[in-house]
Structures are given as structure tokens and as C-alpha cells.
Structure 1
Amino acid sequence: MNESSKHTKIYLLMVLAAFFWSGAFIAGKFAVPYIPPCTLTFLRFFFAVIILYFVMKAHNKKLGEEAFYLKKEHIPFFLFTGIVGMIGYHILFFSSLQYTTAINSSVIGAANPIVTTIIASILLKSKVPPKQLLGILLSFLGVILTITSADLKVLTSFSFNRGDLLMLAAVLCWAAYAVVSKSKGNSINPIALTYYSFLFCCFFSLPLVILEKPWTFIHQIPISAWAATLYMSIFASVIGYLVQQMAIKEIGPSRSSVFVNLVPVFSIILAVIILGEELVFIKVITAALIIAGVYICQKFS
């Protein structure tokens, strides 16, 4: 397989990952009302760890058990990815929704590719070609127009509150996770990297879960919330993160993070199909802007 076709496969997989991540927002609507942020974060990755354990076992014969050993020199790396990338991002994201609007959090979240590119350029000394920057900005513009339905009055009333600051911190956690994964995780098998990041997340989130006293509400969680949590575990976490790690290794954190801007596009589609929301023409135009931005970023990077 040549370099071009190999990257095409990664691009298609990242589009699929973006679709699964958009589904997580829908699933979260069913889970958040019944499960607090720390407990929801723990459960999401607890089920994911179980699945990934069997995935690793299935790959032992092909790659050898040594490919999945937890090495002493990798512990600081997994401490960072597990605590900052997993616990930090998800708890901050779930918590932000308690204090701010979906519009504010989505606009701030859309800054992820830009923040990742900036951090990568600083820490990894990677250059950002002008056309790639154009693609990022175009895609970011499409996200803003999608979220606001091209109503500039929404932007003029935009103001920061506690939730906005929490979401900004979440974006920083995600960007740092992506960049560190690229700079420090190249020698680690993607499955092992994802598994141990999730495992460290579960272990270090336990004290926070205890503070939420899950024994007082876990018996009241409906089946729909459990199903939503399992969706986030299997599709958004196991498949989504595995694909992301493959993409980070192949095309870098900046280029892979741009696909996050496809999430609002898929969210619109899922909202129409599942929630029965009306699809207006302006959202079709803004979705095209986002896709064009992603294409430009990948084509000229």
C-alpha cells in the first residue's frame, strides 16, 4: 500500500470516528441527567477497558505479548494521557454543560484544531503551511455558522462564564493529549496506548466517583442511560480513540484534529433522523464549508 492510499484509509477512518463522536453527544443527552460527570466518565472507560482487554488478547498471537506490556518508562506517559486526556477532558466537558449553553460550549470546542495546531507548532516545532491554516480557519468558520445558524446576533451576545472557562480548559486538555501522544507515543502500539490510557483513567477517577456517592443513584439509572453509556464506550471510546491514535501516528495531531470539525455536521444529520429536528438550507451550506476546510487542510498540508 503506497503512502497516498494509506493516508486515504486514515482519512476515511477519521470521518467514521467523527461520526461516532457526534453520536456520543446524542447519547450523552440520555445519560447526563441520571449519571454525574465523574461517574459517567468512569463507567464509559471502564466498559471500554474490558473490551480493549479482549482486543489485545486477540492480537497477542499476531504481534506478541511484549507489544502490550506496560513498561516502566511508559508510566509517566500514561499518567498524562489517562489523567489529562481522559479524566481532564471528559469531566471538564460534562461539567461545562451544567453552567453554559450548548452554543457557547460548541463554539469553544470548535477551537480544538486551532489550539492543537498551535501547541504542536510550539512543542513539536512543526510548521503550519498557510493553506493548511486557511483550511482550519474555513472549517472553524463553518462550525460557528452551523451552531449559530448564521445569526450574527448570537455571536454579539456571546459572553464567558464558568462553563465557558471549563470548556476552554477541556479543549486545552484534548489538544495537549493529542500532541503528547504524537511526540511521546510513537513507539507504543495504538491498542496498548489506548488501553492503558483508559485503564489509568479508571483507576485515578475512582476517588472522584466515590465523592459522587454512586450507591445512592446507580439503582435508579434507566436502561436508556446504560445503553447510551455503552454506546460511548464501544463506538466513541474504543473505536474512536483507536482510530485517532492511528491517525496521530500517520498524519500528526494537527491534521487529525481537523476532523473534529465534522462532528457538528453529523450531529445535524443525527438530530434530524433521531430527534426529528428541521433541516434548514443554511445548515447545508455551513456543512459544506466545514467539509471544504477539512479537505483543504489535508490536501495542502
Structure 2
Amino acid sequence: MKNSLRVHAALFTAAFIYAANYSLSKDVMPHFARPFGLVTLRVIGAALFFNILSQFVTKDRITGRADTVRSILCGLIGIACNQLLFFSGLELTTPINASLVQTVSPIVVVLASAILLGEKITPTRATGILLAGVGAALIILGRKTGALPGQDTPLGNLYILLNATAFGIYLVIVTPLMRKYHPFTVLARIFLVGALAVVPFGWRQAAAIDYAHLPLLIWSEILYMVICLTILAYLLNNWALKYASPALTGVYIYLQPVLAVIIAVGLGKDTFTLQKALQASLIFIGVFLVSRKPKAASKPAAATVPLEPVQVQE
């Protein structure tokens, strides 16, 4: 029970960190920094942190061809693609739109689990996938209501959808590594891979930031992105994956828009309309149906798929 509470506390804290970022990032982009520059700072900072700290915390190392390939895929998909797409999308869309589209990630977890782990998609889950897909499509294809100059809301929403897809796949493929190795060992490897992939895209934007004249508020928000959003949130999520299923971790994304709406409206960064509420309801109902645990099938134990997610003990 205690371990279950720690897992939920870790996932809730990570969800709050992500939710706050939707509004805070809008202060930084595009006036003080561009998206690829921010991602470069985040990933390099996290790569240095985890690779240095892992040398003192554990002697565990990722070995074997299969695990090495998996860790490289995690770095490319979960770090490089995930973060480049997220910040590119957030620059072009609104905080609430981005947080709502992000909630399709649990759907991707289920689809990826079906493809990679052989899990069945029940009629209930299929209905949930359809409803969430309709809700996400309505947001992505919606009018550019309230868009600021230079924003392309539909394109930004599409980037966020691709980001959510990358993150959902990452949650599935990183789980076996998190259950086999120390979290710092895994994070050190995947952030190193992510840094090598991101730097060619973002070093020019990172170098173009006028660091000497950044206001204190902007400095604090950039540090928040590097320390809290990148290091702390990834650490909490990946530690939780040692004890929770990727589906449970994905479902906590479901909480992000609730927190993001409260923060964005409270800071005056966005407005929550009836149209957005209706679109969000389709996604939430869909995610709820998808996250329902299927009834146990009466099949022989030998038919169990390897690496099946472990449920948290309530």
C-alpha cells in the first residue's frame, strides 16, 4: 500500500510539473528562445546530470545487443522526437489545446502494447480509441480562435499529437529497461542518445539566445524546464515504471489538462471555452474506456505475453 501511494505521488507530481510548463513555456517562446534551442539546453543539462550522478549512485550498466538497441530507440523516440515535437507544437498553439491533445497518449500506449506486447484491444477499448480520436481531431482541425500573430494552431496541435504518440510508444518500450536496470542507468543512456540527436537540430538556436540580457523571470522559467520538467519529471515517471504499468503512467497524462486549464486561466495565458470542454469530454471518455482493465481471459499461462505490465497493488 505504501509503495502504491509513492507511485501515485510520483506520477501526480510529474503531471503537475508538465501542466505548469504549458503556460510557463509561452513566456519564453518565441521572444527569448526558440523551441529547438530550449530542447537543446534541457537535454544537454539532463544528460550531464544523469551521466555524472549515475557514476556515483550505481555501477549498473546496460549490456547486450537487444537492451542497447532498445535504449537507443528510447533516446531517439522518448527524448529527441518527443521534446522537439512538443516545443515546436507549443510555440504554435495554446496551452489548453496542447494539454488536451496530449491526453491521447494513453491511447497510443494501448495501441503500442497491442502491437509490441500482443495485448488484445477489446470492443470497449476500440470505442474509447474512436471517441478520443474524434475529440483530438476536432481540436486539431478547429479554427485558429484566439491565435496570436505567428501562431498556426492546427499545425501546432498536429505536432503535439505526434509528440503524444512518441511519448506513448516510449512508455511501452522503456518499461523493460526500467525493470531490469537502475533508473539512473537508463536515464543516463537515453539522455545521452537524445543529446546526440538533438544538438545538430538545436545548437544554433541555443547559441542565439541573448543570455546576458534575459530577465530574471525568464531565467527561472528556463531553469524550471531543465531541472523540474526534464530531470525531475523524467526521474519520477521512470521510477514509477518500475512498479506501475505503462498504461497507469499514461493515464496520469489525463490529469494534466485539468491542472493546465487551472494554471493557464489563472495566469491569463488562455481561456477555456464550451467548445473546448465538449472536445475534452470526448477525449476523457475515450481515455476512461481505454484505461479500463479488460476481464481476465481463461487461457493457459503459457499464452501470457512476456513483459506484460504489472498492475500497482492498491
TM-score under structure 1 length normalisation: 0.74
Determine which of 43, 46, 52 is the counterpart of 2:44.
Answer: 46
CA distance in 1: counterparts of 2:81 and 2:251, whole angstroms: 21
Determine which of 42, 67, 72 is the counterpart of 1:79.
Answer: 72
1:261/1:101 Cα in 2 relative to 1: closer, same or farther (>3 Å)? same
Tell me which moved more, 164-173 or 254-263: 164-173
Aligned to 1:116: 109
What RMSD, in angstroms, separates the aligned Cα atoms of the two structures? 4.0
Aligned to 1:36: 34
- Deviations along 1:80-111, one digit per CA (max 9) or x if unpaired, are 12222111111112112344455554443221
Correspondence 1:104-183 to 2 at 5 A: 104-127=97-120, 157=142, 161-183=154-176
1:184/1:130 Cα in 2 relative to 1: closer, same or farther (>3 Å)? farther
Correspondence 1:1-301 to 2 at 5 A: 4-33=1-30, 34-53=32-51, 55-60=53-58, 65=59, 67=60, 69-71=61-63, 73=65, 74-102=67-95, 104-127=97-120, 157=142, 161-212=154-205, 214-215=207-208, 217-271=210-264, 274-275=267-268, 300=293
Q: Do 2:109 and 2:247's aligned partners in 1 also have CA atoms closer than 8 Å?
A: yes
Q: What SS does the corresponding residue of 1:97 show, helix, strand or coil?
A: helix
Q: Do 1:255 and 1:297's aligned partners in 2 also have CA atoms closer than 8 Å?
A: no
CA distance in 2: counterparts of 1:180 and 1:129, whole angstroms: 22
CA distance in 2: counterparts of 1:280 and 1:167, whole angstroms: 20
- Deviations along 1:46-100, one digit per CA (max 9) or x if unpaired, are 222343345435534xxxx2x1x35463432232122221111111121123444
CA distance in 1: counterparts of 2:162 and 2:293, whole angstroms: 30
- Deviations along 1:162-220, one digit per CA (max 9) or x if unpaired, are 33332222222111111111245532222211222122222222211234372464444
CA distance in 2: counterparts of 1:212 and 1:279, whole angstroms: 32
TM-score under structure 2 length normalisation: 0.71
Q: What SS does the corresponding residue of 1:250 show, helix, strand or coil?
A: coil
Q: What SS does the corresponding residue of 1:212 show, helix, strand or coil?
A: helix
1:273/1:183 Cα in 2 relative to 1: closer, same or farther (>3 Å)? same
Q: Do 1:272 and 1:279's aligned partners in 2 also have CA atoms closer than 8 Å?
A: yes
> Matched residues, percent identical?
24
1:183/1:291 Cα in 2 relative to 1: closer, same or farther (>3 Å)? same
Q: Do 1:131 and 1:300's aligned partners in 2 also have CA atoms closer than 8 Å?
A: no
- Deviations along 1:204-248, one digit per CA (max 9) or x if unpaired, are 222112343724644444332221122122222222112211233
CA distance in 2: counterparts of 1:251 and 1:210, whole angstroms: 36
Structure 2 portions without partners, runs of 5+: 145-152, 295-314
Equivalent position amino acid for 2:111 in 1: I
CA distance in 1: counterparts of 2:269 and 2:163, whole angstroms: 30
Q: What SS does the corresponding residue of 2:254 show, helix, strand or coil?
A: helix
- Following superposition, the deviation at residue 257 of structure 1 comes to 0.3
Q: Do 2:178 and 2:238's aligned partners in 1 also have CA atoms closer than 8 Å?
A: no
1:121/1:30 Cα in 2 relative to 1: closer, same or farther (>3 Å)? same
Equivalent position amino acid for 2:54 in 1: M
The structure richer in helix per residue is 1
Q: Do 1:132 and 1:300's aligned partners in 2 also have CA atoms closer than 8 Å?
A: no
1:58/1:132 Cα in 2 relative to 1: closer, same or farther (>3 Å)? farther
